[in-house]
């Protein structure tokens, strides 16, 4: 009889049991599952620590040492953080940033420098109101609103002159 690649001598029945050492590759290490809240805290702290937009895979590299390494886990945490107003997804960069203004409830404006990559988050109630007015007049229901301004920051513009 062969179990887990090891041959056992004689018949195996309920009376005679042999202890077989499992091959090292088959031994499962005990896992300690983190709660969603703990995962979210790790992810948002990493986003704040990086201080720039990062892809989900860059973020995984940042948090791997803290026991968060599965892409689905990171994506679920990012979605919860976005839903809670603690993070944003920058569509044009396919990247995520920590929210600098958690009071704007899903309406964010970003200025993204094409030269140095700097991203600044700011409020623009006038722009938001204008878009909300348009949506209301056109029977469009806004789920979320992220505006991205692309161009050159003041530092990059000054260095070109």
Please list the residues that pair with 3 across neighbouring strands.
Answer: 6
Alpha carbons 5 and 7: distance in angstroms, whole number: 7
pLDDT given for residue 25 in this prediction = 61
Going residue by residue through the chain, which has 161 residues, state the pLDDT in tens, using 9 for 90 and above. Answer: 555 555 656 555 544 555 556 566 665 554 567 788 888 999 999 999 998 899 999 999 999 998 888 899 999 999 999 988 899 999 999 999 998 876 666 678 999 999 999 999 988 889 989 999 999 999 999 988 889 999 999 999 998 86
pLDDT given for residue 31 in this prediction = 56
Helix (H) / strand (E) containing 158: helix 154-160
Per the listing, tokens 């009071």 go with: 103
Alpha carbons 109 and 119: distance in angstroms, whole number: 10
Residue 103 has, within 13 A of its CA and on its CB side, a CA count of 4
Q: For the chain, what is the radius of gyration of the CA atoms?
A: 25
Helix (H) / strand (E) containing 107: strand 107-113
């Amino acid at each position: 009889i062969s179990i887990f690649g090891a041959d056992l001598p004689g018949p195996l029945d309920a009376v005679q049991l042999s202890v077989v050492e499992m091959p090292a590759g088959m031994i499962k290490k005990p896992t300690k599952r983190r709660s969603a809240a703990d995962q979210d805290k790790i992810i948002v702290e990493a986003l704040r620590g990086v201080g720039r937009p990062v892809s989900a895979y860059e973020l995984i590299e940042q948090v791997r040492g803290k026991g968060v390494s599965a892409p689905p886990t990171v994506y679920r945490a990012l979605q919860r953080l976005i839903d809670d107003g603690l993070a944003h997804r920058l569509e044009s960069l396919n990247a995520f940033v920590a929210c600098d203004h958690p009071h704007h409830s899903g309406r964010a404006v970003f200025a993204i420098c094409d030269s140095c990559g700097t991203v600044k988050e700011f409020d623009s109630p006038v722009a938001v109101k204008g878009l909300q007015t348009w949506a209301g007049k056109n029977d469009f229901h806004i789920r979320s609103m992220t505006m991205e301004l692309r161009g050159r920051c003041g530092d990059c513009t000054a260095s070109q002159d």
